[in-house]
Amino acid sequence: MNDVMRIIRINGHIQHGLGKITLFGKEVLCVALDGHCTFASDSKDEDALELNDIQLDDIYNQTYGFAPVFDIETRALLAGTKETSS
């Protein structure tokens, strides 16, 4: 299945109220066809986040009932702002 078909499924899942889709602990409002994700938050400070393949897979898998992989701690690790114990 190509990215456009997956994005259409994600948006349909959200629009029909079949469940909440989250990324980094925030509720996803919609995913644009160019791969940008908009969050349902009151803050206007956040711009749309461009999804990479792993994030798109995570959101897509949630439409089948899988738990979200990315949370706030994972986001901090990806950004390099959190120390990891080796």
Q: Which helix (H) or strand (E) holds 29?
A: strand 26-31
pLDDT tens digits, 9-48 = 999 999 999 989 998 888 999 999 999 999 887 666 566 8
- pLDDT surpasses 60 at 84: no
Instruction: Report the predicted TM-score, pTM, of the whole model to 2 decimal places.
Output: 0.75
Neighbours of 59 (CB within 10 A): 24
**Could you tell me the residue ranges of all domains in the chain?**
3-79
- Residue that has been written with the tokens 């629009």 in this structure: 15
